[in-house]
Amino acid sequence: MRWVRKVLTGEPTLLLYRGQFVDQALRQARVTRDEVRSAGRSSGILALDDVEAVVLETDGSLSVVRRSSCGGPSSLEDVRRYGRNGTG
């Protein structure tokens, strides 16, 4: 029944990846670049190059993921567009 949950709640969406905006996702989610920058500032980020990803969560909040040097499993694996089309 996992597919039912996805239909009802949606799935997280990648809005920025490794400092680059995902313009199609921004348009579809109706989120502006300024809102993404604001989320970065709220997380103490000075430069978007320091960000691995900004994700629009299913509850409407923006999560900012800092770049990491550890090679463990990624928390971005369930995010729409991550790992597809050369992103990850």
* Average pLDDT, consecutive stretches of 10 residues, N- to C-terminus, the chain (88 residues): 55 93 95 97 93 94 86 71 49
Bridge partners (DSSP) listed for residue 55: 14, 63
Domain 12-66 maps to which CATH number in 3.40.50.300, 2.120.10.30, 3.30.240.20, 4.10.640.10? 3.30.240.20
Phi-psi region of 2 (alpha: psi -120 to 50; beta: other; left: phi over 0): alpha
What residue ranges do the domains of the chain occupy? 12-66
For the entire predicted model, the pTM comes to: 0.75
